[in-house]
Amino acid sequence: MEFKVTTKNENETIEIAQNIESEKFENMVICLNGELGSGKTMFTKGFATAMGITESVTSPTFSIIKEYEGELPLFHMDVYRLDGTIDGIDIEEYYKKNGVVIIEWADTIKEFLPKERLDIKFKIVGENKRILVITPHGEKYVDLCEGVL
């Protein structure tokens, strides 16, 4: 099962993130994929703002993981530089820290992702237009998608 949503600008991407955030739960994992500039970090910013996080959210390209405090802890990861390995980084421990994990470039570490998660693929189809292909894995994520998309 997958859901497709078309956004025409950054505000619509933020709105999708806020809708998904409205149904957040502890140990939620959201995996974002798409080419550079497709909206992954913009989605995360929208999600974080909806969680009450006032800090500026930027992609953790060099630090790999940034932690933010909001209604729940937010663990924002950019795993692009890991080249498919997670040596020395306990990424799987974050899945159990009672917060929300958002992983940019998640496809690069597919074998280390939890079975139950929400995958969002961003496809650029115009200067500002994007198609978000949202694939829920697990009943909680299916319910979430059916409730907000």
Tens digit of each residue's pLDDT (9 = 90 or more) over 44-55: 999 999 999 999
CA dist list (Å): 134 to 2, 37, 57, 60: 6, 18, 22, 23
State the Cα–Cα distance between residues 26 and 24, nearest whole angstrom: 7
The CATH number of the domain covering residues in 3-148: 3.40.50.300
Residue with tokens 């630090």: 63
The model's confidence at residue 59, banded by pLDDT at 50, 70 and 90, is: confident
pLDDT for 62 equals 74
Give this prediction's pTM: 0.96
pLDDT at 45: 96
Could you report the per-residue pLDDT of 75-131, keeping only the tens digit for each? 999 998 777 677 778 889 999 999 999 999 999 999 999 999 999 999 999 999 999
At 134, the amino acid letter reads I
**To the nearest whole number, what is the mean pLDDT of the chain?**
94
Average pLDDT for 52-81: 91
Which pLDDT score is estimated for 137?
98
Phi-psi region of 88 (alpha: psi -120 to 50; beta: other; left: phi over 0): left
Predicted local distance difference test score (pLDDT) of residue 63: 82
pLDDT score of 80 = 87
Tokens of 40: 């992954």
Q: What is the per-residue pLDDT across 16-56, written as a single tens digit (0 to 9) for each? A: 999 999 999 999 999 999 999 999 999 999 999 999 999 99
What ranges do the domains of the chain cover?
Answer: 3-148
Q: What is the pLDDT of residue 125?
A: 96
